[in-house]
Amino acid sequence: MAKEIAAVITLFGGSGDLAQRKLYPALFGLYQRGVLKDHFAVIGTARRPWTDEYYRDIVKTAVAGDSIESTAQASAFASHFYYQSHDVTDAAHYITLKELAAQLDEKYAAGGNRLFYMAMAPNFFATIASHLKSEALLTATGFNRLIIEKPFGHDYASAKALNDSITATFDEKQIYRIDHYLGKEMAQSLLALRFGNPLLRTVWNKDYIQNIQITLAEAVGVEERAGYYETSGALRDMVQNHVMQLLAYLTMDEPAALTADAVHTVKARAFDQLHRYTEAEVATNFVRGQYTTATIDGEAIRGYRDEDGVAQDSMTETFVAGKITTTAPNFAGVPIYVRTGKRLTRKSTQLTVTFKPQANSLFGVTAADTLTIYVEPSQGFSLQLNGQKLGQTNVLAPAELAFRHDPAAAKSAPEAYERLINDVLHGDQTNFNHWNELAQTWRFVDVILAAWAKDKTMPTYAAGTMGPQAAKDLLARDGAEWFWQPTRIQMAD
């Protein structure tokens, strides 16, 4: 059984979508594993006037399983939840919260440990942090930790302002900036794959790698999130955070240890070494696009500009592809191609490392060996090698060594949010964003945003395709192509 951690957890945004879909199930998972047991309480806060009973029903519904046993467990779990109606802009409410936290600390013997989770719109983060300080909600005994959701800023300047405001209350060691991709099984296992295999460790450098590709493809459109998405776009929503974090895991140096400090050091260095484009270079190295209407499987799909809540002349990109290079000695000259978008052919996050084909006197120039890491929906990796064609001596044919986690086993492994909250409870910052990383990635992205702001053209792509033609041309110029080229009829990757 896991070691129990005691804490009073205050959740700002306790009635919200994230809390109900992700956070309550994640906390329940920790309860079922015994990390949260007898000595914890959760205070959910939001403006609506819920009672504790009503709130507990919401929590039970969010975590309910099918069996009688899990229903009983959900009730016992929900009994640790308390609701406090609270407007985060009202100083007096923090005094009430502080008193409730103190009472619950005593009731559950939580040892002064406090976890504050900001699961609200980001414009409130600074307000909450400053009130936690001015109304003295941090304790002198036990730990005080802050979990903060993305988006962390809108550009470098706003991210810095936000960081300044939260570091006025919390120090860096107390801040856990979430990027839920870092909680995903295969993102985390990149370290095991890269550094746990002498075979890969030896060839993971510019001498052997031809290019690296990162694809985060979504099949859905903007759905109900147009209000947010119109102010964000694919570059801010996916590239600055998730794509960049995966890129760092693929290109960073080997950390001196598997500790937060050591991993953050090599990641920050990897971001430092990225070639930061000038605005003039953006046009040749980054492509954006917007999806347009299409008929898929007989269903008419709306174009982005026709979606509810999207401006008819919107210049928000729903697709980004880019070529990134680094000055890191191990990877200098290796192109890293990234792409992400909505309404692409199929949902998949996958990373491909293509190794340099090497001419030899026996077989001439052979097909490139490739390693693909499947992050989602399937989880695993595959190595494509040259084998011999069956029955044909010395004739090469592609052969695949494929591994996938068993879907049922993968389903019962902890979800990203459960892993990440578990890390916070244990004080492990490894899988969270250090401020240095965010500062660097925003600086990288800001130049692209500035260049696009001056460009009045918006390439388009039909919904259901893998982006505008320019995304293909970007690689073709280098004599390369996207490794993953899905069609509608392929099985899930």
Ligand X SMILES: NC(=O)c1ccc[n+]([C@@H]2O[C@H](COP(=O)([O-])OP(=O)(O)OC[C@H]3O[C@@H](n4cnc5c(N)ncnc54)[C@H](OP(=O)(O)O)[C@@H]3O)[C@@H](O)[C@H]2O)c1
Please say whether the beta carbons of 149 and 417 come within 8 A: no
Reading the block at residue 425, the tokens are 């409870």
Which of residues 78, 97, 120, 320 is near ligand X by CB under 6 A?
120
CB-nearer residue toward ligand X: 211 or 441: 441
If binding is defined by CB under 6 A, does position 13 make contact with ligand X? yes
Buried b (16+ CB within 10 A) or exposed e, 388-401: eeeeeeeeeeeeee
Q: Compare residues 83 and 435 and give the one whose CB is closer to ligand X.
A: 83
CB of 128 to ligand X, least distance (A): 9
Site size with ligand X, rule: CB under 6 A: 22
Which of residues 88, 246, 250, 480 is near ligand X by CB under 6 A?
A: 88
Q: Which of 119, 182, 420, 448 binds ligand X (CB under 6 A)?
A: 119
Q: Which pair of structure tokens corresponds to residue 93? A: 């409410």
State which of residues 91, 92, 121, 397 lies at the interface with ligand X (CB under 6 A).
Answer: 121
In degrees, rounded to 5, the angle at the alpha carbon of residue 204 between the alpha carbons of residues 202 and 208 is 90
| Nearest-CB residue for ligand X | 16
From candidates 8, 10, 15, 189, binder to ligand X by CB under 6 A = 15
Tell me if 122 contacts ligand X by CB under 6 A: yes
Rounded-to-integer distance, Cα 1 and Cα 28, Å = 15
**Closest of 371, 352, 316 to residue 215, by C-alpha:** 352
Instruction: State residue 64 phi and psi, 5-degree precision.
Output: -55, 135
Torsion, Cα 352 355 357 360, to 10 degrees, reads: -140
The string of DSSP codes covering 58-104 is HHHHHH--SSHHHHHHHHHHHTTEEEEE--TT-HHHHHHHHHHHHHH
DSSP 415-470: PHHHHHHHHHHTT--TTSB-HHHHHHHHHHHHHHHHHHHT-----EEETTSSS-HH
When asked if residue 46 is in the footprint of ligand X (CB under 6 A), the reply is: yes
Residue closest to 286 by CA, chosen among 329, 317, 314, 252: 317
Residue 369 or 437: the one with the smaller Cβ distance to ligand X is 437
The reply on whether position 61 binds ligand X by CB under 6 A is: no
Pair type for strands 370-376 and 380-388: antiparallel
Mask of contacts with ligand X, 420-439, x by CB under 6 A?
Answer: --------------------
Considering only the stretches 51-59, 118-126, 386-394, 455-463, report the one whose residues sit in contact with ligand X under the rule CB under 6 A.
118-126
Q: Which is nearer to ligand X, 44 or 468 (CB)?
A: 44
Q: Is 111 in the site for ligand X (CB under 6 A)?
A: no
| Smallest distance from ligand X to CB 348, Å | 19
* Closest distance to ligand X from the beta carbon of 93 (Å): 8
Q: Which is nearer to ligand X, 90 or 481 (CB)?
A: 90
Q: Which amino acid is at 359?
A: A
Residue 17 binds to ligand X (criterion: CB under 6 A) = yes
Q: Which of 89, 134, 202, 284 binds ligand X (CB under 6 A)?
A: 89
**Closer to ligand X at the Cβ: 118 or 344?**
118
For Cα atoms 246, 12, 146, give the angle at the middle one, nearest 5 degrees. Answer: 50
Do strands 319-324 and 336-341 pair parallel, antiparallel, or not at all (unpaired)? antiparallel
One residue of 53, 87, 164, 306 binding ligand X per CB under 6 A: 87
Our finding on whether 358 is near ligand X (CB under 6 A) is no
The reply on whether position 268 binds ligand X by CB under 6 A is no
Cβ-based nearer residue to ligand X, 124 or 208: 124
Residue 16 is a binding residue for ligand X (CB under 6 A): yes
Q: For residue 221, state whether it binds ligand X (rule: CB under 6 A).
A: no
> Would you count residue 48 as binding ligand X (CB under 6 A)?
yes
Name the nearest CA neighbour of 50 among 76, 78, 8: 78
| Contact between residue 349 and residue 375 where contact means Cβ atoms under 8 Å apart | yes
Q: Which region among 15-23, 164-172, 237-245, 319-327 touches ligand X (by CB under 6 A)?
A: 15-23
Site membership for ligand X, residue 47 (CB under 6 A): yes
Closest approach of Cβ 225 to ligand X, in Å?
A: 9
Q: Does 180 qualify as catalytic in the annotation?
A: no
Which of the following is catalytic: 39, 86, 180, 242?
242
List 18, 64, 102, 385, residue binding ligand X (CB under 6 A): 18
Question: Is 406 a binder of ligand X (CB under 6 A)?
Answer: no
Q: What is the dihedral of CA 160, 164, 165, 169, to 10 degrees?
A: 150
Annotate 110-179 with DSSP letters as a single string: -TT-EEEEE-S-GGGHHHHHHHHHHTT-S-SSS-EEEEEPSP--SSHHHHHHHHHHHHTTS-GGGEEE--
CB of 99 to ligand X, least distance (A): 18
Q: How far apart are CB 92 and ligand X at their closest, in Å? A: 13
Active site residues: 242
Binding footprint of ligand X on the chain (CB under 6 A): 13-19, 21, 46-48, 86-89, 119-122, 149-151
